[in-house]
Structures are given as structure tokens and as C-alpha cells.
Amino acid sequence: MKFPARILLSQDKKFMKRTKDALKQFKTKRRLATIFILVIVIVLGYNRFYNYVSNYYEATDNAWTYINEPADGVTVEYVDNTIVFSPDTGATTGFIFYPGGLVETEAYAPLMEKLAENGIECILVEMPYYLAIFDANGANGIQDEYPEIDNWYIGGHSLGGAMAGLYAERHSNEYDGIVLLAAYSTKDLTDSDLDVLLIRGSEDGVLNMDKYNENLVNLPVDYTEVIINGGCHSYFGDYGIQAGDGTPTITVEEQTEDTVEAILEFILFGESDILSKPLHTA
């Protein structure tokens, strides 16, 4: 039995329309499924990130006393995203400091306050989520706020030190030197005029020594290295012992004092005899 051509053509059009509609529905469902999967991935990723950054090391009660009850002659105040430790007698040398990763900013108050006691204006930069990687340019604009400061240094601990090195490489003409505590610079500073001080503890169990040694080539040949006998990674701040760190044979107070001594000699007097004497005898 033969059907008229117009009937066959009509049936073909209906078939193609149904096929087209089915494909459209399939693409819509696939798009919705893709969006749904992306939303799940984003939510899970955010939750994982939030859990990660929420598990930070808190400053000890002792560290907070250097904020709330600084020594006579030192003023401590929160200014924008910084904590400023100022010697009341005025200062001509400034030190901008980036905290270690996932460490509460105030944990570095003892170090900053003791440097301020010795005439150095210390600016402790607060980092988003306690991770300097999210604000490597945190030092931007700080120098402009302190026109009385003639000599500027930048530094940091661990991840903060690495980010300070990144910033220093881009702004080397704005600083006299850099201080890296249990940290190394992945950026080439060899052509800069920066003085470089490295300080680490002999019992550091967190610092990757292979990476540390590999990146020494990024420093000027006259860099200064100080190893604190009995010191560890965590004691450059006051927040307890970090996971994976070694066992220190000195107290956090002793390591802080040794660190202050090394930085003061480096900044105020040049490298002098830092390397020739032990900073601590256990």
C-alpha cells in the first residue's frame, strides 16, 4: 500500500521534531547535571578549605600578654590589617613581618615586642585565613605610613618567610635586608643589594632541609646564617609545638631571646660576629 508523498513528508517532520525535542531535553538534563555536580564539588571544596583554615595554631596566653601588657616604653596598637609595636622613644628602623602559615598573628607578639624594646618599629601583618600566600603583597603601602623610618627590613616565619622573599624580590630597592626564620627564598635575590639573615633551630622537624639547601643559591653570597642550638620550628612564635616538629631542648622564651639577639646584631650592627658564637648552650 502506498502513502501519498505529503503524508510521508509530514511523518518525517514529526519524527525529526520529536528527535530534536528529545535532544534538547537531553542537553538540558546534562547541563543541569553538570551544574549540580559543580555545585557539589564547590561546596565540598569550600567545606574542606574551611575545615583546613579553621584548624590553626592559637597564640598562647603568654603571647597575648605582650599585646595587652607590653613593656614600659613600647606601645602596641592594631592599625588596619597590622599590629604595630612602637618604641616610645621613636624609631628610624622598621621591620615588617609575615607570620607563619595557620598560626594566629598574635603568636609573634613576644618577638615583635622585644625588638621594639630595642628601638625597632615592628609591623606584624595579619594574613587572610592566617596564610600569607593569600596576601604576599601585605607590605604594600606600609612604608608610606611611617615617613620617619629611614631603614626598612622585611621578614617572616616559614610560609610567611617564603612570601616575604617573594615580595622582597619585587621590591628589593625599597628594603635594606630580609630576615627569614625557618624559611627560604624561592626567588632569586642574588642581584639585589639586600642583606640576608637566615635563622633556624637545630631541632627543626618541619623545615624541608633539602629545599632549604637547594634554594641557598637564590641568596647573595654574603648571606648570614644562624642556627639556634636546641631550637625548633615552632618557637619562633609562641603557639605551642607544631605537628611534625622536632623536640626542642630550650624553652620558647630562650629561643625568642636568641632570635632577638641575632636580628638586632644583623639590623643594628651588621653581621658582626653572629656566626662565630653559639646563641644558646643547652
What pLDDT score does 121 carry? 98
Least confident of 36-40, 111-115, 160-164, 220-224: 36-40
Angle, nearest 10°, between helix axes 109-117 and 252-269?
40
What pLDDT score does 276 carry? 38
Predicted confidence (pLDDT) at residue 220 exceeds the cutoff of 80: yes
More confident residue, 14 or 239: 239
Distance of CA 181 to the CA centre of its chain: 11
Predicted TM-score (pTM) above 0.85 = no
3-state SS track over the chain: CCCCHHHHHHHHHHHHHHHHHHHHHHHHHHHHHHHHHHHHHHHHHHHHHHHHHHCCECCCHHHHHHHHCCCCCEEEEEECCEEEEEECCCCCEEEEEECCCCECHHHHHHHHHHHHHCCEEEEEECCHHHCHHHCCCCCCCCHHHCCCCCEEEEEEECHHHHHHHHHHHHCHHHCCEEEEECCCCCCCCCCCCCEEEEEEECCCCCCCHHHHHHHHHHCCCCCEEEEECCCCCHHHCCCCCCCCCCCCCCCHHHHHHHHHHHHHHHHHHCCCCHHHCCCCCC
The percentage of the chain sitting over the pLDDT mark of 70, rounded to a whole number, equals 76
What pLDDT score does 273 carry? 47
- Cα–Cα distances (Å) from 150 to 51, 91, 240, 243, in that order, read 42, 9, 35, 39
Domain map of the chain by residue range?
A: 1-55, 61-276
| Residues whose CB falls within 8 Å of the CB of residue 191, separated by 6 or more in sequence, listed in order | none
What pLDDT score does 19 carry? 64
Predicted confidence (pLDDT) at residue 13 exceeds the cutoff of 90: no
Predicted confidence (pLDDT) at residue 228 exceeds the cutoff of 60: yes
Task: Give the span between the Cα atoms of 206 and 263, in whole angstroms.
Answer: 22
What pLDDT score does 272 carry? 40
Task: Give the span between the Cα atoms of 197 and 263, in whole angstroms.
Answer: 8
What pLDDT score does 34 carry? 61
Q: Say yes or no: domain 61-276 is CATH 3.40.50.1820.
A: yes
What pLDDT score does 11 carry? 60
pLDDT, tens digit (0-9, with 9 covering 90-100), for 47-63 = 564 555 568 999 999 99
